[in-house]
Structure 1
Amino acid sequence: MAFKSLLTVLTGLEDADPALRQIIALAGAQDAHAEALCLGVDCTQTGYYYAGANAMLLQETLTRANAEAAEILAHANDVLGKSGVMWSADDGVAQIADLGRHVAHRARFSDLVVLSRPYGENRGAAAEPIVEAALFEGHAPVLVVPDEGEPLTTPKNILVAWNQSVEAMRAIRRALPFLRAADLVRIVVIDPPTHGPERSDPGGLLAQMLARHGVTCEIDVLSKSTNRVSDALNRHAVDTSADLMVMGAYGHSRFREAILGGATRNMLEQAKIPVFMAH
């Protein structure tokens, strides 16, 4: 199985190009269709009354969101039209509180959602909810790409973060088209449990399963030398020249990760290579 239906969601020109470059590269490599959903985001919430607000002000924010959507659509049409791949683009306006519904509807019918990194400079309030909507409501795998670097086509050296979780296994199953085509897949286990079914052979059953799919695997068992798992994964990705990270997303609640941090959030903030996630 290959990724045949690719989706990206754009809400601003500042971070549109990394996602557009990546979806074009993948569409060419996978002979897939690239779709861009260009949304103007209305950050007002009409269910609440704001002091000093009136109908003219609310209409102005809606008009601005429509103009932003049209501007993003024009840019996507220009970039995709020059790409030579199969593509389509559509625009619309969504209120910030209702953004997830629009994203989830499109993500549900996509094999892979390609998004720019949701954290960093020039990132709007919509970036994080879009990633979460695609993962949780759309039930789609998400490829988050950094701002710099060459777009991914067929990754050859893939790092898989394995912690025996349901989320990690789901990400691995969804990433099989990439894993089968890779030269080497490194299964990375950090501080394996001293008790449990994999205590004597961390990652062994996963390597066996992937090998039956024709995947060449190695198992790297690492010690958690820092407070954050993401730091160890990122350092190992650099040390091994990995070009893709595969990991489960949000093993803890999204609220806890937003307040206290977590492997998913920290990875998306720091990763220098594309991160493939599923929940």
Structure 2
Amino acid sequence: MSYKTLVTFVATETGLKPLLQSASALARRFDAHLEVCCMGVDTTQSMGFYAGAPAIIYQDSLNAAKATAETLQDTAKECLRGADIRWSTDSAVLSLGGITSYVGLKARFSDLVVLPLPYGAGRGPQDEVIIEAALFEGDTPVLVLPQTGGALPEFNKLVLAWNQSNEALHATRAALPLMKQADLVNTVIIDPPSHGAERSDPGGLLAQMLARHGIQTDVSVLARTLPRTSDVLRRHLKDQAADLLVMGAYGRSRLREAILGGATRDMLEDTPCAVFLAH
């Protein structure tokens, strides 16, 4: 298995060129096709429509979204013209609520989605919608790059977050091409259940499965000595000098994580390295 179709979604010019540099480098590494989907998002909500509102207000918003999509597509073509990879672009004008269907359809027929961090300066609500749509509607793994542009990390030192969940197993299987190329794969287990199925040998069955793929992994079992699991995980990533974290995404519901927080959201808000996610 390898990644032969990569896709990225852009809705703003913020960080566009560095993102394309990183995505192109990854496509080159896997001899893959890169598709850049340029979205103009109309933020006028239908619930905000009211009787008697001038139609020109709505038309202006659509025109602005269309102009944004066209500008993004022109910029993407300019950046990729002459690149030594196979690439294509697409554009769409969408409402905020329509992002999910579009991203889900495009991601569904891709092997990997490449995105920047959804939170931080220059990011908006559409960025969070995009990453969740790729994971849930597209059922596609997502590689989130905290720093785009420049030299793409080789992903030689990987940390695999394992908690026996379906999400973690899906992420493991989806990340096999990256793990096969890594020099070191460290499996980290934080506070394993004392009465779980793997209580006598945490991570043992997983290590056996990976070994049959030619992937050697060492297992680190850690206590949760900090308030949040993500805090322990973040500290471990720095101790390992890891350049990629592989983890299952949204083991809790998205609403619960949005309100109460969770490891997925915490890592996407502040991560020392790239994050590979699958649900």
Range of TM-score over shorter length: over 0.9
Please name the residue that 2:262 is paired with.
262
Q: Distance in 2 between matches of 1:192 and 1:41?
A: 43
Could you report, residue by residue, the CA deviation over 1:95-128 in whole angstroms, capped at 9, with x for unpaired residues? 1111100111100000000011000111022000
Match of 1:272, SS state, is coil
C-alpha separation between the residues in 1 aligned to 2:193 and 2:151?
Answer: 36
Q: How many residue pairs align between the two structures?
A: 279
**Identity over aligned pairs, percent:** 51
Q: CA RMSD in A?
A: 1.5
* Matches of 1:185 and 1:163, distance apart in 2: 16
User: Residue 58 of structure 2 aligns with which residue?
Assistant: 58
Segments of structure 1 that go 5 or more residues without pairing to the other structure are: none
Give the SS at the match of 1:271. Answer: coil
Q: Secondary structure at the match of 2:125?
A: coil
CA contact (8 A) 2:20 2:149 kept: no
Paired residue type of 1:14: T
- Mapping 1:143-222, distance limit 5 Å: 143-147=143-147, 150-152=150-152, 154-222=154-222
SS of equivalent residue, structure 1 residue 126: helix
Identify if the C-alpha distance between structure 1 residues 52 and 128 changes in structure 2 by more than 3 Å, giving closer, same or farther. Answer: farther
Matched, 1:89 2:89: yes
CA distance in 2, matches of 1:50, 1:270: 40
Match of 1:138 in 2: 138
- The alpha-carbon deviation at position 17 of structure 1 amounts to 3.2
| Residue of structure 1 in register with 2:29 after alignment | 29
- Mapped to 2, the partners of 1:53 and 1:157 lie a distance apart of 57
The equivalent residue for 1:228 is: 228
* Alpha carbons 2:21, 2:148 under 8 Å: kept: no
Q: By how many angstroms is 1:54 displaced? A: 2.3
- Aligned residue type for 1:3: Y
Whether the 8 Å CA contact 1:15–1:123 is kept in 2: the answer is: no
* Offset at residue 4 of structure 1 (A): 0.4
Distance in 1 between residues matched to 2:245 and 2:215, nearest whole Å: 16
In structure 1, what is the equivalent of residue 39 of structure 2?
39
Task: Kindly indicate whether the alpha-carbon contact (under 8 Å) linking 1:18 and 1:146 is maintained by their aligned counterparts in 2.
Answer: no
Distance of 2:231 and 2:245 partners within structure 1: 13
Superposition deviation, residue 53 in structure 1:
3.6
Partner of 2:10: 10
Question: Secondary structure of the equivalent of 1:57?
Answer: helix
Q: In the alignment, is the contact (CA less than 8 A) between 1:25 and 1:153 conserved in 2?
A: no
Structure 2 gaps, min length 5: none
Q: 1:198 to 1:230 in 2, by over 3 A?
A: same
- Distance in 2, Cα, partners of 1:5 & 1:189: 31
Confirm or deny: 8 A CA contact 2:36 2:76 kept in the other structure: yes
User: Contact conserved, 1:29 with 1:154, CA < 8 A, in 2?
Assistant: no
Match of 1:92, as an amino acid?
A
Work out the CA distance in 2 between the residues paired with 1:109 and 1:207. 30
The TM-score, its normalising length taken from structure 2, stands at 0.96
* Distance in 2 of aligned mates of 1:175 and 1:120: 26
Report the secondary structure of 1:113's partner residue.
Answer: strand
Deviation at 1:81, TM superposition (A): 1.5
